Amino acid sequence: MSEQQQVSSRERLGILKTLILGVSVLFYAYGVWNAVAHLVTVAQYGMNAYGWFVLIFSVLFPIIVFAAAFALGRRRGATEFAVVMLAGLALVAVFWMNVVALSALNFSSLTT
């Protein structure tokens, strides 16, 4: 296979997929920002190992889900790419609501 055939066989991101990716990145970054802010707020009260694990994982979770959603959707069409990114955002939102509920109802389990 020649070099020219390899380049033409690769799918490039179109303008629409790039726009979807840019908007998705902003929402995933907002999830990371909220998790970091919550981590800093709770850390002021002193945290145990379980609290550190839960809140650091809540910071990393949107990044992991974004990477997985991008890997799953990058070779698909724009509509499927948007659906995969939206499904990842829904997963991040559900996880974040669980972290907030844990912090609100069982704050003593996170702190020392």
Which tens digits make up the pLDDT trace of 70-83? 999 999 999 999 99
What's the pLDDT score for residue 99?
96
112 SS3 class? coil
Q: What pTM did the predictor assign? A: 0.85
CA distances from 7 to 20, 53, 70, 90, 106 (A): 24, 44, 21, 35, 54
Give 111's strand partners.
Answer: 47
CB atoms within 10 A of CB 5: 8
Q: In the prediction, which pLDDT does 64 show? A: 98
41-67 tens-digit pLDDT: 999 999 999 999 999 999 999 999 999
**CA gap 110, 43 in Å, rounded:** 9
